[in-house]
Each structure stands twice: as C-alpha cells, then as structure tokens.
C-alpha cells in the first residue's frame, strides 16, 4: 500500500474541500471493503484518503410522505433493517444476496454503488478496459458483458443494488466540487461505460461526493430482485434482474425492468418492460418478457450461457414481484 | 454512435426512461421535495485535521472494553494494529479482501473484516475480538465449537466463532434453515461447516449466551 | 520382549470413545499461536516480488530505489540477468521493512526489465498442446486377459485382442472427461517467522513436516541441522503443500541474519496460489466396452494434464481407477505449461483418476439403461488393490449396501434423465468408490513419567487439523489406565524426537505406533517396580482406572501415583521407536482402506445451478482412536470434494499466462449454506478393529468428484464432462445434448 494522508471531516463541505479534481489523487473512503483491497494491490494509489464515515448527515434512513432518503454511508445491514424500506423488497432482496454479515455490517450503500468492477483483468493490473477490451475478448470472458460490449469496456457493473434503484426510479444527490454545488441525478444517469482509461464507471467527478439516495414512495408498486448465484456467500451473481410493476386490476400498467451483471452499466430493458405491459404476470408472460430482454444480447466467446441466465432472472424477478411461486431455486 | 449501437445505452443513459417513469412524480421532483425536509447540512467546519502519510498518528481504540492508545501509520489496517501492536492474533489474515471472514471482529457492535478497515477509521470506537469470548469463563459458542469439533486446522475458527456469536445475538432462536442462510461470510478450507451447523444448533437449544 | 497390542475388542476405556480435541478451546478462542501469529519483538516484515509474466527472461534488476525507501532494511535480488522464468509469481526479489504495507510498497520500486517469451498455459486440449510442441509422453501400458500362442507377437496380439473385446461388447461408451488444476488454498499461507540466537536459527514455519525441515533449512544456509530449531505449534492448513521451508523460508532466515532482526515472511494470497503448489489437471479421452450387465470388459484411454513447467500429471498407474477391467490400454501424456509447479494435494492422483474413470463407468450404466448401483456392484469383481490377502470387493459390497440404505438409494433412484421434474428442478443420485494406503511412517516418541505421576510426551509431529495431540494423549492414557486429561502432549518442535511428516494419511498410524510402544515399554518398567512392592509377578499386573493392580484382584493394587513414586528421584524416560522397514505386520497398524460415497443433488435445468441435497460417505479405517475427530476428517474431506466438484478451479489467461482468479474473491469455494446434509459413517466391524490403526485424512476426498458428477448426470440425463460443474458448464452441456 502506498502511504497517504488521511482526514476525517465531519461535514459534506469538509469532505468536498479535501477532494482533488485530479483523478486518482484523492479517494473517498467509506466502509473500506473495496477501496482498501484496491490500495493493497496498488490499483488505487491516492495521495490522500478522505474518510466520510464521520459525517453524520450521510448516515441513516428517513421517510416522509413523498420519498425515502438513504444516506450514502448507511451500512447495508441498516438498510436491510430499515422499516421505511419494507415496501422495497427489490432493494432488500439485492442486499440479502450479499450474503455475508461482514460485508453487510461494514459495506455502505453509497460504496456499493461506487465500487470498482470485479473484472479479473482490471483486478490483475491490466487496466479497467484491459487494453481497450482486447484482453477480454481474446481471454477468459465467462463473467463479462453480454450487452453493450462492443465498446472498449467489457466488464459488468458490480453493483447489485443499482438495478433495483433504477427500477424504482431513485435519484442521487451529489455535492461538489464547490461547497454550494448540489446535483440531483436519476440513478439511471449515474453510470456509464468508460471510453478510455481516464474515465470511471460513473459520472462523479473526482471531487464530487454522493450523499444520498432518494426513493419515491412505492405505494402499490410491486417490485423484486432475482439473482442467479453460483453458490451462497457474498460472491457476485452471474446475472440478475430487478423489476418494478404498477398493477391495475391484475394487469401491468407500468413496468421497469433492469438487469444487473450483464453490461458495463445496469442494463435497462425496455423490451422486457414492453412485453409485460398490458398483460397479467404469469409464467407465460414472464417467460416472454425474459426472452424479450435478451433478444439483442451479444455474448462473447465464453459467456453465451449468461444470455439464458439473464432471461431467467427477468422471468423470475417478475414472478417474484407478482407474488407467484418460482419454478427454480 | 453507429460503431457501437449497443453501447449507446451504457454510454448515454436513456433520458426517455425517466420521462416514462410511472412512479409518483418524477424521481427528481420527489427527491427535491424530500430534500427540503431531508438531511441538514452542517453549516461550517473548521479545516479538518490531516494526518500525514509520512509519519505516525496516535489514536485511541477501545478494545475488548479497554482503552488502548496506539501509534499507527495512516495505512495500517485495524487487523495490523490488533495483531502487531496489541498481540491479539485471534483474527487472522487470509486474503486481501472481505471474502474469508477469518478476521471478523465487531466494530461498535457490527461484524466487520478487520483487514479492510483502516485503523484511523476506528479512532475512539469500540472493538470486540474473539479473545473476549475466551478467558476463564469461555462463551457458549467456543464451547459448542469444541463439543462438536467444529474445527480442524483452526485458522478460520476464531472468525467463525465471532460470526456465530453475532448471528446468535440477533437470532437466538435460529432454525437450521436460518443457520444455513446466515453464516455464509466465513470460509473454512478444512470443511468444518457440518460441525459448525451442529454447534450452532446446540447453542440455540441451550438457550445460553 | 513386549507384546505390543491394543486392548481386546470392546475392552478399551479411552480409545474408540468420542473425545473433544484437547487443544480445541485454544483454537476456538484465538489463543492458539500459528506461525503467522508469532511476533517476536523488533520483527521486520518481508514481502516477495513475484514475476508478473509467465514466461520471460530477466534483462535487468535494479533494487537501488527500493533500498533507499524509508522503513526498508534489506532488499535482495533473487534472480539475475539472463534467468528464465517459467511461471507467473516466481520470486524475483525480496524486501524486508518495518511494516507489511511498507514492504509491499517498496516492491513497486524494484525496477525489472523482462524479455517476454512465448506463453503456453492451456492444458485441456491435447491436440493444441501437441501442435505447440508442449507434450511429453509419460508411458503406455496394454494388458489383456488372454495370452498369445508362442509364435505370435505379443504386442500385435494385445492390440488385436483389445479390438476384439470392443467388438464383442454389448455397449461401448466413448467420452471426454476432465478435472482442471486446483490449488491447496491453505488459509494460513506458506511462510515463516525466523530469528537467530547467535549462530542458531529458530524458525517458526507453517509446516506439515516439523522433524524433516531443519535439515532443509541448514543446507542452503551452510549450517548444520543441529543449528536449526523448527517450531510449529499450529498450522493453518497444508493439504500436502507444506513439507519444505521452500526458497522463501530460506530467504526469511537470510534476511533475519542480514538485518539482525526477527523477520516474518508470509506469502500474499495471490503469490501463495501462484507458486506454492497445486493439484495437476487430468483430462481423458476414453472408450470403454461392457457386457449387457454393465461389467466393463475393455478400456482404452489416453489422458493428459499439467503439473507445470515440468512433466507430471495424474499417474497412469491409477487409471482406470479401482475397478480395473481385465483388458485395457492406457496412455499418459504430460503437458508442459508456463504455470506454477504442482505439489502433493490430499490423496495425490486419486481424486482425478476417480473422476476420470468412474464417470465413464456411470455412462455405461446410462447407456445400458441400468441402475448405477447395480453396475458398480457388478464391477466389484475387478476391485483392486487387495486388503491384506483379501479382495476389497467384500468391503466395498458391504459399504455400498450401508451407503445405499443411508441415502435411500432404492426409493430415490430413477434412470438417467428420467426423474420427475419439479418445475425447473431435477434431482439425481450418483456414487463412486475409492481406496488409499494410509500405513504408518517411521518415527519415535519420548514418554516421560515423573515420580509424582505426571505424564508427558514429546515428539516432532504436528497437528494438521487431525487432532494429533488428542490421539497421542488417548493412546498413552489408554496404556496407563489414566484419564485423557492427565497426559501432557508436546509436539511441534524439531528439538523433539524425530517423527512423521503429516502426509499420505500417515499421521495417526505413525504416532499411535510410537506412543503405544513407548507407553507400553514405560508401563512394563513400572510393573516391575510395582510387582516387587506387591510381591506378585509383573505379568500379573494391569493398569486400570488410575491404579496398578493384580489382574482380577483390585484389592492388591497401588494408585498410579504410589507406583510412580517407586521410580525414586528421576523421571522414567522411554523412547518408543517404529520403522515399517524393519517391523512387518505390526499388530498396532495396517494399511489399505476402502470407501463408498453417494451423492444426491438438485439441478435447476434453466440456470445450471447445482445444489447438494445429501451426501453419504462410508469409510473403513481399521481401529478408530477418536471417532469424533475421525468423523470431522470425513466431513471435511467431503466438503473439500464438493469444492472441486462444484466450485473451484485455477483459471489461466491463455494469452498472458496470468492466473486471473488468484484472489479469494475470485477463487470460488463452497460456503456453509452450500454443502447440504452430509452423513458420515465409520465402517468398523470387529475385523477392522483387529487390523489396527490406518490413516484416514485423504481417502474420503477422492470420490466426491465422480459421485457428484454422476448424480448431476443422473438428474439431467446429460453428462457435464469437466469439473467443477458450474452453471456455465451445466448449461453448455445441456445445449450440446451431452456430446463432448
């Protein structure tokens, strides 16, 4: 690990004031579950680390009649335990999938959204894009993207909660770089596939801080997350889907379907949403939606199996949201 | 854009999506309203103290109920401090990341991996290690581990014991299904899981802390 | 001359009973000190720079910047200009610094230039390896039942005979099966903490070989073995990979000498996985023929795999595995890859050989539409090797019957792919069987009986997780008629009498041999003294319940303490020795075991996810000293088997030769929720007790690969040919319809 200066400001402005505009020069530290290993591997080599865990305003879950607000440094177990979020099973199921009490107790929801990709070329020091994607295409890409993989980024976005947040129409509050600067941004617009090594997987500037997640009230919105996981434990899913459904008289009148771990960003499937609109959710319509979700998939040489997994994930997330029994695990 | 038709979504989020959002109000509108009553920003902060990476800093930790002052590099992990300054070697280094659970300790009552927590972040905080479950009157969990032989080489065992204690504090009446669901943050290479399950069931039955 | 023996069947008071391991609480509360936990005052931390490339030549190494870094005490270049590197992670240089993080940071300042050479790491495709000229023949055997007439060329006859057998077979199956390389993944990585006391080296080493490593330190350091003390009170996993100090152990000692400070050098996780051993891969193309009952009559195979940048792989001696048909041809090829060298991995050769052979056997059952259980039973006539003079077939038959009952085979069985699906989930059954040696190794053991009755023992063995201390204490307590808790066991130092390494399942047999012999000899001396006092013949005495008494007349007795007081001023010291080379047919131990395992799995056909429902393991192991720890070994072996059957594999990037999943986060292992219900059954009829002790650590890890693969095949009706059975492999196999 490279030596670095360390500060623990107690206010958002204090945090922002300590961040540099130069990429990589300063890093924001929350739970530490991702940044600390990256620093040990010298994949992150900041000159300064800014601890945000002492900023009281960033912590906790609160609700009013219009929205639920989650502070960025709220730990995952606190999110899981928050009664304010009982109507958002999609979020709780996603966190439940991070099946390790240590990660849930230490990891924060903001950190979960901002964690770096698990791509093994990136983690082995070949860069986020691994030689403009060439190493991935020619190498072992069994866990890589099946959508949006024709650019240089082939990794899958690691966040397991983001698909649910997008499906639920959540917004992020971001502050900085100036002490008064504040932006509200739909979660869907937060992520991006980098085009060159200088970019990250989200639109945050190096001197901006994600402070809160704001969820519109979920009354009447059926929602769920389904992950296909190789085994138990905190390991990332092979593919996942989050859905949010507006139902009227047993018919879907509004639908958001977002896939995870299939593209460099959470992947919004309008095709799947369209497929269920105007229909009741049942095994047939769910299967049609699942198939629609992957109709345009472009698997790499080792990950064709993920196309089916993504399809099944959509199908089962729909059934789960509708309260119907699943046919599989 | 024609080069990368499928990358389009990933590159530029589909703004049509948010317009089409069906949830009450648009996300942004709801958010803005919420913020009016939402978190209140601390008004002013004096220039925060910056600890230099070139030297060491003195910090105070409350370890197993005892206040300890240690001098650390900013990059020292909590695990480094426990093992190399306080000689509390029950928490084990197994990987660079969070995946093994072998270094599980409680930080202000929450289970964490001490190897991914910087010691500087623990200033003034309460830390509980496996050693607090030993001593002259050992806790029921390590005793049950011995009774059910829930260990072989034993390197993962202290982390597992802390995880089980934490799990049972939250779920004192856990069923076997809940046990199988709730203890997946720890890896054992010798394969003691079957014995661990029996040990946990035994503690639940005993109803002891 | 003492007649060494165990108590008569059913008469033992300590052995054969379930005992908690005596060091259990130390382990469970973090008090046990492993090598990684030994932190002498003033200790420095050393870290190794591993080569980032798999195949290259060193152009230059410059350590000067690293040497100048704050907190760095010493930097050594290990390789020099012109050296060729054959695997990623190979040691280039080493740094000793004040902190671990500081040492790692300094590694980045070591400036190395490399000339990159062509990389080859793929081991699953024999033709590709041949094309790349990376193969090396490792021998070929042919054996047929009939013998040629005098004037016929034997080789030609054998080939023709094998062909004839295939023509006459009722069913022929041709298959491709594979088991990739896996690592040991010891949770405590390899390494040591070393310091010098003048010219004497004290090395805390994470080792399975306490007695054998002092000399290995001494030679490269140019001192004698008597100048080295190796210590290891607890070891965090070995599995066959920790028999030597290794180059990094010697480096640690050198750095300690150079800096005049204690030095700790433990490998980083990724380094550990890249350089500190692995299990060779095995892939096979096999054709087998059987009669209509499923009795395999002929076998023709070529198998290959890699043990790294040198020849090696799964020995052809164990292919086909256990059930060896009368007619076979087998060919082994090594693939030379730019990957880290293999090491012994729990039951070397056997798990791969079992997975490559008994899957093919199960495919015969599928092809003929037979119950796999019946086909295995039919093939027991070909069971090898023998257990003493008897065939193993009888052992296997009884074990199969027991295992089938425990898993309810008859009720749950359905033909391959013909089970009732529940939604997307299908279930299946599979089985496999295995053998192993497990005889004892030479060694000695010192037993000390103090005049106050205290009992101590010293031997340079170690506790790999077996419960070695508890086993030794049980044996000595049994001999002396004392409670287990009264025996103080000292292991883990090369200063103690030389004892076994812990490998090959020899630990329990070895320490039982020496500790029983030593304690029986000591007791004999105590009997002599007590006999005089009690005025009886020494051979009329027995040690029971804390007393030395006349057999059948407890009134004529001394307490243990009274008897020991007769020793006078000095403790009685007896060293028991055992060497299998000189002692034939020891009554205390034996070798050769068998085991049968059955798996029940559920498979989600649409996601390819496999879940363990139930697993039954039946195993013989001769006389069982401590059933509690013996069962733990079986549970553990089964879970390690589930790991390589469903989760773990080394993944190499073929272009760069990078071991891309060499961190715990990427190297998949089962968790507590993944293992299902495991039932372990020690098979111990009286005949097993009479055989004496046989080691157990390895055999139960052999069958899970084949048993689980067979269960998945039974569920799906499709063979997933290569382990581990990941969702990807399962779905790919379903898509291909099971054709390789």
pLDDT of residue C640 exceeding 70, the answer is yes
Q: Does C714 touch chain A (CB under 8 A)?
A: no
pLDDT of residue C67 exceeding 90, the answer is yes
Q: Does B71 touch chain A (CB under 8 A)?
A: no
Nearest residue of C to residue B98, measured between CA atoms? C665
Largest CA distance in chain B: 72
Length of chain A: 329
pLDDT band at B45 (very low <50, low <70, confident <90, very high): low
Residue labelled with tokens 């593209």:
A263
Give residue-wise pLDDT tens across range A109-153. 999 999 999 999 999 999 999 999 999 999 999 999 999 999 999
pLDDT band at C552 (very low <50, low <70, confident <90, very high): confident
Q: Which residues of C touch B191 (CB under 8 A)?
A: 635-640, 643, 675
Contact of B27 with A201, CB cutoff 8 Å: no
Q: What is the pLDDT of residue B13?
A: 39
What's the average model confidence in pLDDT over C395-407? 98
CB contact under 8 A, B131 and C36: no
CB contact under 8 A, C638 and B191: yes
Q: What is the pLDDT of residue C79?
A: 97
CB contact under 8 A, A18 and B48: yes
Residue labelled with tokens 């994949």:
A43
Q: Which residues of A touch B196 (CB under 8 A)?
A: none
Mutate to test the interface with A, among C653, C654, C730 (most CBs of A within 10 A): C653
What's the average model confidence in pLDDT over A88-107? 98
CB contact under 8 A, A99 and C673: yes
pLDDT band at C737 (very low <50, low <70, confident <90, very high): confident
Give residue-wise pLDDT tens across range C428-477. 999 999 999 999 999 999 999 999 999 999 999 999 999 999 999 999 99
Q: How far from the centroid of its chain's Cα atoms is residue C137's Cα?
A: 27
Nearest residue of C to residue A303, measured between CA atoms? C728
Q: CA B181 to CA C671: how far, in whole Å?
A: 10
Least confident of B13-27, C165-179, C259-273, C643-657: B13-27
List the A5-7 sheet strands across, edge first.
Answer: A26-29, A48-51, A5-7, B50-51
User: Mean pLDDT across chain C, nearest whole number?
Assistant: 97
Q: CA B153 to CA B140: how far, in whole Å?
A: 21
Structure tokens at C144: 């047929």
Q: What is the pLDDT of residue C385?
A: 87
Percent of chain A past pLDDT 90, that is, above it, reads 98
pTM of the model: 0.96
Give residue-wise pLDDT tens across range C114-149. 999 999 999 999 999 999 999 999 899 999 999 888
pLDDT of residue C256 exceeding 50, the answer is yes
pLDDT of residue B30 exceeding 90, the answer is no
Q: CA C356 to CA C301: how far, in whole Å?
A: 10
Contact of A277 with B23, CB cutoff 8 Å: no
Q: What is the pLDDT of residue B80?
A: 98
Q: Which of B121, B163, B184 has the CB atom closest to A233's CB atom?
A: B184
CB contact under 8 A, C675 and B193: yes
- Nearest residue to C378 (alpha-carbon basis) of C459, C291, C306: C291
Q: What is the pLDDT of residue B44?
A: 55
Q: Which residues of B touch C268 (CB under 8 A)?
A: 96
Q: CA C259 to CA C590: how far, in whole Å?
A: 49
Give residue-wise pLDDT tens across range A265-300. 999 999 999 999 999 999 999 999 999 999 999 999
CB contact under 8 A, A139 and C653: yes
Contact of A167 with A313, CB cutoff 8 Å: no
Q: What is the pLDDT of residue B17?
A: 30
Nearest residue of C to residue A240, measured between CA atoms? C607
Q: What is the pLDDT of residue A168?
A: 98
Please report the ipTM that was assigned to this predicted complex.
0.98
H or E segment and range at residue C572: strand C572-578
What's the average model confidence in pLDDT over C359-386? 97
CB contact under 8 A, B80 and C632: no
| CA dihedral for C121, C125, C128, C134, sign (positive or negative) | positive
pLDDT band at C738 (very low <50, low <70, confident <90, very high): low
Distances (CA, A) of A38 to A117, C289, C653: 11, 54, 21
Q: Does B152 touch chain A (CB under 8 A)?
A: no
What's the average model confidence in pLDDT over C674-686? 97
pLDDT of residue B138 exceeding 70, the answer is yes
Q: What is the pLDDT of residue C46?
A: 98
Q: How far from the centroid of its chain's Cα atoms is residue A321's Cα?
A: 19
Give residue-wise pLDDT tens across range B139-177. 999 999 999 999 999 999 999 999 999 999 999 999 999
Q: Which of A235, A302, A328 has the CB atom closest to C424's CB atom?
A: A328
**Residue A300 DSSP SS3:** coil
pLDDT band at C481 (very low <50, low <70, confident <90, very high): very high
Q: Which chains touch C (3 or more CB pairs under 8 A)?
A: A, B
* C455-458/C487-490 β-pairing: parallel
pLDDT band at B9 (very low <50, low <70, confident <90, very high): low
Q: CA A258 to CA C565: how far, in whole Å?
A: 81
CB contact under 8 A, A312 and C425: no
Instruction: Quote the minimal CA–CA distance from A83 to chain B in Å.
Output: 17
Q: Which residues of B touch A189 (CB under 8 A)?
A: 13, 15, 18
Give residue-wise pLDDT tens across range A203-235. 999 999 999 999 999 989 999 999 999 999 999
Nearest residue of B to residue C40, measured between CA atoms? B84
Cα dihedral A49/A52/A54/A59 (nearest 10): -160
CB contact under 8 A, C39 and B155: no
Q: What is the pLDDT of residue C618?
A: 98
Q: CA A2 to CA C87: how far, in whole Å?
A: 27
In A87-219, DSSP assigns E strands to: 171-175, 182-186, 209-216
What's the average model confidence in pLDDT over C61-69? 97
The count of C-alpha atoms lying within 13 angstroms of the C-alpha of C494, restricted to the half-sphere facing its C-beta, is: 26
Nearest residue of C to residue B132, measured between CA atoms? C29
Q: What is the DSSP string of C501-538?
A: -S-TT-HHHHHHHHHHHHHHHHHHHHHHHHHHHHTS-G
Give residue-wise pLDDT tens across range B175-202. 999 999 999 999 999 999 999 999 999 9
Nearest residue of C to residue A310, measured between CA atoms? C607
Q: Which residues of C touch B130 (CB under 8 A)?
A: 29-30
A120 or C554: which carries more pLDDT confidence?
Answer: A120
Instruction: Quote the minimal CA–CA distance from C600 to chain B in Å.
Output: 16
Q: What is the pLDDT of residue A192?
A: 97
All residues at 6 or more sequence positions from A295 whose CB lies less than 8 Å from its CB, including other chains? A271
User: Mean pLDDT across chain A, nearest whole number?
Assistant: 97
C388 or C228: which carries more pLDDT confidence?
Answer: C228
pLDDT of residue C65 exceeding 70, the answer is yes
């Amino acid at each position: 690990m490279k030596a670095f200066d360390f500060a623990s400001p107690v206010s958002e402005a204090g945090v922002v004031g300590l961040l540099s505009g130069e990429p990589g020069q300063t890093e924001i530290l929350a739970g530490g579950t991702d940044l600390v290993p990256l620093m040990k591997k010298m994949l992150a080599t900041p000159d300064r680390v800014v601890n945000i865990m002492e900023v009281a305003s960033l912590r906790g879950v609160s609700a009013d009649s219009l929205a639920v607000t989650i502070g960025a440094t709220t730990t995952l177990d606190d999110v899981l335990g928050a009664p304010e979020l009982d109507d958002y099973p999609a979020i709780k199921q996603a966190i439940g999938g991070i099946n390790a009490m240590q990660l849930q107790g230490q990891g924060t929801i903001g950190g979960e959204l901002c964690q770096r990709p698990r791509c093994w070329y990136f983690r082995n020091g070949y860069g986020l894009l691994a030689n403009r994607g060439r190493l991935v295409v020619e190498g072992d890409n069994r866990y890589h993207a099946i959508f949006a993989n024709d650019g240089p980024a082939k990794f899958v976005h690691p966040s397991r909660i983001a698909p649910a947040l997008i499906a639920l129409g959540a917004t992020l509050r971001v502050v900085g770089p100036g002490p008064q600067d504040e932006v509200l941004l739909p979660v869907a617009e937060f992520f991006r596939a980098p085009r060159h090594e200088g970019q990250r997987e989200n639109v945050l500037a190096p001197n901006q801080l994600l402070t809160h997640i704001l969820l519109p009230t979920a009354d009447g919105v059926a929602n769920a997350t389904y992950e296909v996981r190789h085994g138990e434990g905190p390991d990332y899913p092979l593919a996942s889907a989050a859905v949010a459904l507006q139902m009227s008289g047993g018919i879907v009148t509004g639908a958001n379907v977002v896939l995870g771990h299939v593209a460099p960003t959470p992947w919004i499937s309008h095709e799947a949403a369209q497929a269920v609109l105007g229909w009741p959710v049942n095994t047939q319509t769910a299967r049609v939606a699942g198939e629609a979700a992957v109709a345009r998939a472009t698997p790499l040489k080792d990950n064709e199996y993920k196309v089916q997994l993504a399809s099944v994930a959509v199908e089962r997330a729909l059934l789960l949201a509708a309260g119907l029994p699943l046919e599989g695990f | 854009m024609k080069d990368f038709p499928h990358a389009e979504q990933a590159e530029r989020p589909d703004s049509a999506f948010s317009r089409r959002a069906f949830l009450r109000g648009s996300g942004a509108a709801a958010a803005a309203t919420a913020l009016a009553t939402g978190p209140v920003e601390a008004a002013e902060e004096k220039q925060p103290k910056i600890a230099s990476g070139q030297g060491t800093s003195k910090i105070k930790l409350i370890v197993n109920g005892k206040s300890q002052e240690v001098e650390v590099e900013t990059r020292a992990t909590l695990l480094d401090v426990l093992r190399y300054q306080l000689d509390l070697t029950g928490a084990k280094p197994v990987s660079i990341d969070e995946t093994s659970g072998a270094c599980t300790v409680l930080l202000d009552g929450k289970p964490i991996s001490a190897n991914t927590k910087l010691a500087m972040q623990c200033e003034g905080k309460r830390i509980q290690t496996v050693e607090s479950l030993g001593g002259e009157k050992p806790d029921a969990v390590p005793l049950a581990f011995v009774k059910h032989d829930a260990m072989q080489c034993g390197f993962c065992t202290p982390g597992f014991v802390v995880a089980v204690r934490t799990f049972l504090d939250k779920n004192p009446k856990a069923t076997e299904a809940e046990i199988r669901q709730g203890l997946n943050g720890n890896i054992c290479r010798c394969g003691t899981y079957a014995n661990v399950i029996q040990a946990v069931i035994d503690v639940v039955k005993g109803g002891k802390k | 001359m003492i007649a060494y023996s165990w108590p008569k069947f059913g008469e033992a008071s300590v052995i054969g009973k379930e005992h908690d391991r005596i060091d259990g609480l130390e382990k469970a509360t973090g008090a046990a000190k492993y090598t990684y936990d030994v932190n002498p005052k003033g200790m420095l931390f050393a870290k190794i720079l591993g080569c980032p490339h798999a195949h290259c030549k060193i152009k230059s190494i410059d350590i000067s910047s690293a040497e100048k870094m704050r907190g760095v005490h010493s930097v050594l270049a290990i390789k020099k200009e012109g050296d060729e590197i054959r695997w990623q992670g190979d040691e280039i240089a080493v740094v000793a610094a004040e902190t671990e993080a500081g040492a790692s940071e300094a590694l980045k300042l070591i400036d190395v230039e490399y000339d990159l050479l062509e990389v080859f790491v793929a081991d699953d495709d024999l033709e590709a390896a041949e094309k790349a000229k990376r193969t090396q023949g490792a021998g070929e055997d042919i054996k047929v039942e009939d013998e040629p007439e005098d004037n016929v060329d034997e080789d030609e006859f054998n080939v023709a005979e094998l062909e004839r057998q295939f023509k006459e077979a009722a069913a022929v199956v041709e298959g491709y099966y594979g088991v990739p390389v896996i690592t040991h993944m010891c949770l405590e990585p390899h390494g040591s903490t070393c310091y010098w006391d003048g010219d004497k080296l004290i090395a805390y080493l994470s080792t399975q070989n306490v007695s054998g490593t002092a000399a290995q330190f001494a030679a490269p350091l140019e001192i004698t073995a008597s100048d080295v003390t190796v210590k290891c009170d607890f070891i965090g996993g070995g599995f066959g990979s920790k028999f030597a100090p290794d180059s990094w152990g010697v480096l640690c000692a050198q750095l300690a000498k150079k800096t005049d400070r204690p030095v700790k050098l433990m490998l980083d996780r990724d380094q550990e996985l890249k350089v500190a051993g692995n299990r060779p891969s095995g892939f096979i193309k096999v054709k087998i023929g059987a009669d209509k009952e499923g009795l395999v009559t002929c076998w023709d195979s070529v198998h290959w795999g890699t043990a790294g940048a040198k020849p090696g792989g799964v020995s052809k001696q164990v292919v086909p595995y256990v059930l060896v048909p009368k007619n076979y041809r087998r060919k082994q090829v090594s693939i030379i890859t730019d990957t880290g060298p293999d090491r012994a991995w729990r039951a070397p050769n056997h798990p791969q050989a079992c997975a490559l052979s008994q899957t093919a056997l199960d495919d015969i059952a599928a092809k003929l539409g037979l119950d796999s259980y019946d086909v295995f039973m039919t093939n027991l006539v070909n069971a090898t090797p023998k257990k003493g003079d008897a065939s193993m077939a009888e052992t296997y038959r009884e074990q199969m019957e027991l295992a089938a009952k425990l898993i309810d085979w008859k009720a749950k069985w359905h033909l391959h792919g013909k089970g009732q699906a529940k939604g997307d989930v299908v279930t299946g059954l599979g089985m496999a069987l295995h053998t192993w040696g497990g005889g004892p190794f030479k060694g000695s053991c010192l037993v000390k009986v103090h005049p106050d009755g205290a009992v101590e023992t010293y031997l340079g063995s170690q506790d790999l997780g077996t419960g070695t201390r508890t086993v030794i204490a049980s044996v000595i307590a049994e001999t002396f008629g004392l409670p287990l808790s009264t025996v103080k066991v000292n292991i883990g130092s090369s200063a103690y009498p030389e004892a076994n390494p812990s490998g090959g399942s020899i630990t329990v047999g070895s320490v039982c041999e020496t500790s029983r012999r030593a304690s029986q000899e000591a007791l004999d001396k105590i009997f002599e003294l007590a006999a005089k006092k009690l005025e009886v013949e020494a051979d009329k005495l027995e040690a029971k319940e804390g007393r030395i008494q006349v057999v059948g007349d407890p009134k004529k007795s001394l307490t243990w303490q009274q008897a020991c007081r007769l020793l006078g001023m000095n403790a009685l010291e007896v060293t028991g020795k055992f060497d299998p080379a000189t002692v034939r047919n020891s009554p205390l131990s034996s070798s050769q075991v068998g085991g049968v395992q059955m798996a029940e799995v559920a498979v989600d056909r649409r996601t390819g996810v496999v879940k363990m429902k139930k697993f039954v393991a039946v195993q013989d192991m001769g006389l069982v000293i401590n059933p509690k720890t013996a069962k733990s070994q079986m549970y553990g072996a089964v879970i390690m088997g589930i790991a390589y059957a469903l989760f773990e594999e080394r993944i190499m990037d073929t272009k760069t030769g990078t071991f891309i999943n060499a961190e715990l986060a990427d190297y998949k292992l089962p968790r507590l929720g993944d293992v299902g219900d495991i039932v372990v059954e020690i098979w111990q009829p009286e005949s097993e007790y009479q055989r004496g002790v046989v080691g157990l650590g390895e055999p139960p890890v052999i069958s899970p690969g084949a048993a689980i693969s067979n269960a998945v095949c039974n569920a799906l009706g499709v063979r997933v040919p290569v382990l581990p059975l990941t969702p990807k492999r399962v779905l790919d196999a379903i898509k291909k319809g099971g054709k390789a």
